[in-house]
Amino acid sequence: MKTILNEQQLAITIQRLSQQILENHLGLENTVLIGIQPRGIYFSDRIVRQLGSELTAGKISYGKLDITFYRDDVRRGLHELNRTDIPFSIENRNVILIDDVLWTGRTIRAALDALLDFGRPAKVELCVLIDRRLSRQLPIQADYTGKCIDSMITQKVKVFWNEKDGKDEVELL
């Protein structure tokens, strides 16, 4: 086990990513944020909270997306269902998808498929906390990356969130 990000590094990384999003989307005009269920929600909640400290809270359009039935591995057993909550239109808007770990790219592909059921966005960007760049199976890359790591396929990246796990930390197992 190796710590990739400790609590302080995680907080700084979230602050940096939030600032990068604001640099590219001033005031979040015509921009929506969508967290990917289940574990990407903890990360997206933190990004939205950080952005809320910089902007008027009402200016942030934030939704949560369940991709269970869009996954290409759903045949191997039913995953836990989560709730999709996107209370706004994404039609012709900039969408920033948010997830904790980018590994094979299959989760993001499923999220893109699911997103199209809600309209046709003007642009879609991806924000991830950890990019496991050597394990990609699909040509997907993040626009905003907390930390890139090189890991073996047998290793796991575990993101711990205080709200669920009692600590804020990212570990390589």
User: pLDDT tens digit string along 115-156?
Assistant: 999 999 999 999 999 999 888 999 999 999 999 999 888 899
pLDDT of residue 79: 54
Domains of the chain (ranges plus CATH)?
Answer: 8-147 (3.40.50.2020)
Q: Is pTM, for the whole model, over 0.85?
A: yes
Q: Label the pairing between strands 169-172 and 2-5.
A: antiparallel
pLDDT of residue 117: 92
pLDDT of residue 42: 97
pLDDT of residue 134: 86
CA distance 120 to 115: 8
pLDDT of residue 73: 65
pLDDT in tens, 28-81: 999 999 999 988 999 999 999 999 998 865 689 999 999 987 877 655 555 566
pLDDT of residue 59: 82
Q: Is it the case that residue 109 has pLDDT exceeding 60? A: yes
Q: Is it the case that residue 169 has pLDDT exceeding 80? A: yes
**CA–CA distances in Å: residue 118 to residues 63, 66, 80, 91, 115:** 11, 12, 22, 8, 6
Select the more confidently predicted residue: 83 or 26.
26
User: How many C-beta neighbours within 10 Å does residue 119 have?
Assistant: 14
